[in-house]
Amino acid sequence: MSAAAVPRSPLLDAIQEVLISEDGVADRVRELGERITLDYQGRDLLVVGVLRGVALFMGDLIRQIHLPLEIDYMAISSYGSATKSSGVVRILKDLDETITGRNVLIVEDIIDTGLTLSYLTRALEERKPASLAICTLLDKPSRRVAHVDVQYTGFTVEDRFVVGYGLDHAQRFRNLPFIGVLKPEVYTR
Ligand code: 5GP
């Protein structure tokens, strides 16, 4: 993937490189939506977003799924402001909906070690959904510690800490419309 030039602004000044452009994200999200639309024809669908990083992806993805569907959210403990996984996963906000007998599609921003989603899928399987699938915008397979079955992947990325399009560093940069990498000095601030 080629790096694009970034114009100057206080927010953009922190960016070292654009990994996936706004258009690149939009094109891929449309493709994912088309595949999901085909795969879930005639089936009841509950799309579950994992907060907070998924907010932008979820909003765009569901608009590309041309089926009747419902949405719900879960919040789980994440990295905080550090860039390494603690391996500790906790449900901070559970689903409002009952998923027993339903087709559940979990939507995540990025799979890194896989610890979060392997925990989450085990917890949700216990509730006996009719099916459980995973859609992630980004995947970093080189970092995997726990196995996760992923049905829909937007982009596979190398082992770099990325921000933008919902993904944060210390709760910032979520509002960037593209996915990029910060200048090294920003991570150490
Ligand atoms: P896992 O449990 O798979 O290691 O981590 C998943 C979570 O870690 C993601 O939902 C995200 O919050 C965070 N994460 C992992 N890699 C990155 C990254 O490159 N950038 C950002 N902003 N968050 C990441």
- Look at residue 1 and tell me if it is in a domain: no
- State the closest ligand 1 atom to the C-alpha of 109, by its place in the atom list counted from 1: 10
The mean pLDDT value for 13-20 works out to: 96
- Domain membership flag for residue 127: yes
| Arithmetic mean of pLDDT, 111-138 | 96
Q: Is the CB of 48 under 6 A from ligand 1?
A: no
**Is residue 81 scored above 90 in pLDDT?**
no
Could you tell me if residue 178 is inside a domain? no
Atom 12 in ligand 1: which residue has the minimum CA distance? Answer: 78
Query: 43 pLDDT exceeds 90?
Result: yes
Structural domain includes residue 187: no
CA of 185 to the centre of ligand 1 (A): 20
Residue 39 has pLDDT above 70, yes or no: yes
- Residue 33 belongs to a domain with what CATH number? 3.40.50.2020
Q: Which residues are catalytic?
A: 112
Three-state SS string over the chain comes to: CCCECCCCCCCHHHEEEEEECHHHHHHHHHHHHHHHHHHCCCCCEEEEEEECCCHHHHHHHHCCCCCCCEEEEEEECCCCCCCCCCCCCCEEECCCCCCCCCEEEEEEEEECCCHHHHHHHHHHHCCCCCEEEEEEEEECHHHCCCCCCCCEEEEECCCCCEEECCECECCECCCCCCEEEECHHHHCC
* Cβ of 161 less than 6 Å from ligand 1: yes
In a domain, 189, yes or no: no
Structure confidence at residue 155 (pLDDT) = 98
Q: pLDDT band at 78, cuts 50/70/90?
A: low
Report if residue 173 sits inside a domain: no
- CB-ligand 1 contact for 118 (6 Å cutoff): no
Q: Domain span at residue 51?
A: 23-159
- Whether residue 180 lies inside any domain: the answer is no
Say how many domains are in the chain.
1
Distance 78 CA to ligand 1 centre (A): 7
- pLDDT value at position 170? 93
Report the pLDDT averaged over residues 94-98. Answer: 95
Single pTM value for the model? 0.91
Confidence of residue 69 (pLDDT cuts 50, 70, 90): very high
Q: Does 5 reside within a domain?
A: no
